[in-house]
Amino acid sequence: MTEAVTKSLTVDRPHVPADPANPPVVVFRDVTKTFTQPDGGGTFTAIERISFTIDDLPGKGEFVSMLGPSGCGKSTILRILAGLKPSFPATSGTVLVKGKPVLGPGPERGMVFQSYSSLPCYTVLQNVELGLRLKGVPRGDREEIARHWIQRVRLGGNEHKYPHELSGGMQQRVAIARTLAVKPKIILMDEPFGALDRMTRWEMQDLIVDLWQNVEATVFLITHDIPEAVHLGDRVYIFTPSPGRLLEEIYIGPPTGPAAEVQRTADFTALANEISRKVEQAG
Ligand SMILES: Nc1ncnc2c1ncn2[C@@H]1O[C@H](COP(=O)(O)OP(=O)(O)O)[C@@H](O)[C@H]1O
Ligand SMILES: [Mg+2]
């Protein structure tokens, strides 16, 4: 059921007092990444002095949408947070997850990419079990947890199919199930629905909203789709063109109803247009 509320630019971010016993989920402080070009080609600054804090809200994670022109460094930011080379480590600055420096990949941070990242020679069940296996979950428990998440992403009955037997939307649900099964504290999504058509995208957005209500993870979502960013994001981050700097952080609150309904309302369209203008002004 759609509530008669809409997101707006006037929503205040929840205030979380500093508490050493409950450090923020993520802190970026003056994070810069400079790539050195091969064979003496000089250096290239991908992101410059990025700073932000995502507090640990009791019983809920925040959803952060990241918008900015292609090449502005969005993937670089997520990969630094994920601990993935060659973006990781940052050239300078501080990256903390729950108060501790990021030293490499870890099970508390899960990544979902745009390209379907399932292993082609593994079934759906084996793909979803993979993350659990890497985390060291015992074999007996793995299958039960994997089957649960396959149901949750509405892929029940497809456990023994291979990725090539699935549609793009289904393959992306496998990737989401695999990530969520490990129960990461932070989920990093790099244009996860970029290759999907509009209706499938809306279905995926509703699925994400539904799953998130129980997962309590903090989500970073890179997307080129401004309505998607506005619909899903508690906050929207707007980055400048290369070298990427964080131009604006906008708190707009959680999703207010099913994607296909909300995104057709005049209020939503007005807000999306306003944010679209800010993105255009950034570049
Ligand atoms: N390994 C690398 N070596 C050199 N340059 C890189 C490397 N990875 C990314 N870049 C450059 O950094 C910039 C930011 O890239 P990226 O983070 O992928 O941007 P976005 O995700 O916003 O499109 C781009 O100009 C890209 O070419
Ligand atoms: Mg990218």
Task: Please report, for the chain, the start and end positions of each structural domain, with discontinuous segments joined by +.
Answer: 49-108+184-283, 119-183
Looking at residue 68, its pLDDT comes to 95
Distance from the alpha carbon of residue 229 to the mean position of ligand 2, in angstroms: 15
φ and ψ of 73, to 5 deg:
110, 15
Q: How many CB atoms lie within 10 A of CB 134?
A: 11
Does the beta carbon of 223 sit less than 6 angstroms from any atom of ligand 1?
no
State residue 5's pLDDT score: 63
Please classify residue 275 by burial: count the beta carbons closer than 10 Å to its beta carbon, then call 0-12 exposed, 13-18 middle and 19+ buried. Answer: buried
Query: Which parts of the chain register pLDDT below 70?
Result: 1-5, 115-116
Residue 131 has a pLDDT of 86
| C-alpha–C-alpha distance, residues 156 and 59, integer Å | 28
Residue whose CB lies within 8 A of the most ligand 1 atoms, among 75, 190, 245, for a mutation test:
75
Q: What is the pLDDT of residue 169?
A: 86
CB 221 within 8 A of CB 54: no
- What is the rounded distance in angstroms from the CA atom of residue 44 to the CA atom of residue 32? 11
Return the CATH number of the domain spanning residue range 49-108+184-283.
3.40.50.300
What is the C-alpha separation between 208 and 204, in angstroms, rounded?
6
Helix (H) / strand (E) containing 82: helix 74-82
> Please, which residues have CB less than 5 A from ligand 2, an ion?
75
- In this predicted model, what pLDDT tens digit does every residue of 52-61 receive, in sequence order? 999 988 778 8
